[in-house]
Structure 1
Amino acid sequence: MIDLEGARVGVTGGARGIGKATAAAMVARGAIVTIGDIDLDAATATADEIGARANLLDVTDATSFRDFLVAIADGDDIDVLVNNAGIQIMGRFVENSLDALHRELAINLGAVVTGTRLVLPHMIARRRGHIVNVSSMAGKVSTPGMATYCASKFGVVALSRAIRAELIGTGVTLTTVMPAATRTDLTSGVTLRLQPTLDPGDVAQAIVASTRHGRPEVTVPRWLAPMGLVEQGVPENLLLGAKSLVGGREPGAFDPGQRKAYLDRTTTP
């Protein structure tokens, strides 16, 4: 697989949360890491803190993504791309603005399409490279109160699985990482109740480990892996009760005060 010592690695949405933890873990293993983020000031601060490089990246813009890939390569080849950037819109589907929902799809799924499509030809040509598409357990288990988020993450899982079938024999690998709820800004103010929660470092370790084993799909924690089968195999009306127990009676409930700063930063282009 990929020897991270001296490897050129790009991490989208790398200024904070899982992206920051992943970039730091890659740097600790000797990788040359470039962080891409729409918030260049935050990305630069993170890069200075962990010993990486920062680059402005709007993942919804193909030209911006191309420029980011050029910055990662810096005249060489890209070894690893981590498609991590994502946002989460909470609350009932009909109560969210259409613009916000389409922006969520563009960042969570459209950007994965863009990044993967742009980097793959170069990796295939050299018969070497690894892509990590960060999805979520919401890509296996649908959750009321975050319908479009689930759709985007289901899409990442399906997209990655289909592409993997096309990559057989190319020397290029693609891992989908599906974490449970993680304690980052993305979940600020969200009512998590009985859901397992993770530190960003837990997910980062799984992402780094994928460069060694290249497994197709990884859930974090690993014991959640069967949940996709439960979602598909158990009658929907029975699952609704269990989901209400975990998520509460109000779908997508959150504390508006605790979540305001996150929403102000992520829902405006």
Structure 2
Amino acid sequence: MIGALTTMINLDTHVVIFALEDNLNLAEREAMQTEDWAISPIVLWEIAKLVERRRLNLNLDGHRFNQFLNSVDVIPIDINIARTCARLDFRSDPADQLIAATSIVYGIPLVTRQSYPAIKASAFCNMKTFRRALFIRSTAIVLTCASVSLIIVSGCTTDDEPAELDNVPPPTARSGVKPYSGEESFQNRCAVCHGQQADGTATGPPLVNRLYEIGHHPNFSFHNAVNKGVIAHHWNFGDMPPIPNVKPAEINAIICHVRDLQRAEGIAAGEPC
């Protein structure tokens, strides 16, 4: 699937556990084999608590769990997710509230076996069996439906942003006394592999590519790539190692520069910084 356009999917805690226990159903297995994965940090907390209470037999320091962590983007909890949580009514499980709010804010389909009672009241719509998600415009998602075996929850709007929610603020290069130059930082840290115009080289993929549009690779995924590295999955360039000693403000400046380059080529890149 080199170069194929995939969707980032948000996995709830139960689906992660089923994956770790090799107990996925057919639709879940298809989703995890063909799409990029993301989770909320609350999923890691829930798994740790289950292990602590001996309700889950899992070695948190073991190879299987670490392999999973290296394959997933962890979406940070921010003020936009907190505000969205306040609009949801998930009285039975605050963790599910955070997971669902994450999908709303970032426009990422939520893969779950739960049937949330608050879905219809929170700009969600139920989709049945997973097929394949196609992006139109920016983060609007169209999913086809078939027989019930898995619920995928996604934003119901066809606008570029999730319905009735404050837009997620773009990264800014203007924080701090001495702001970073996104272009300069990109040339110093990224261009040797990704090209001077982010158009790729013999050793790294192009970032000015639909694979990296904001709906498929949100800004947090760039932070994760720098801080954690990336296991090769779209291209045959090999794994990307973590880049040490890069401050979040500098990563934000680099993101702004890459988004500007994408926008100039007609790739969905969100609002300018």
TM over 0.5: no
TM-score (norm 2): 0.27
Structure with a larger share of its residues in helix: 1
Structure ID, larger Rg = 2
TM-score (norm 1): 0.27
Structure with a larger share of its residues in strand: 1
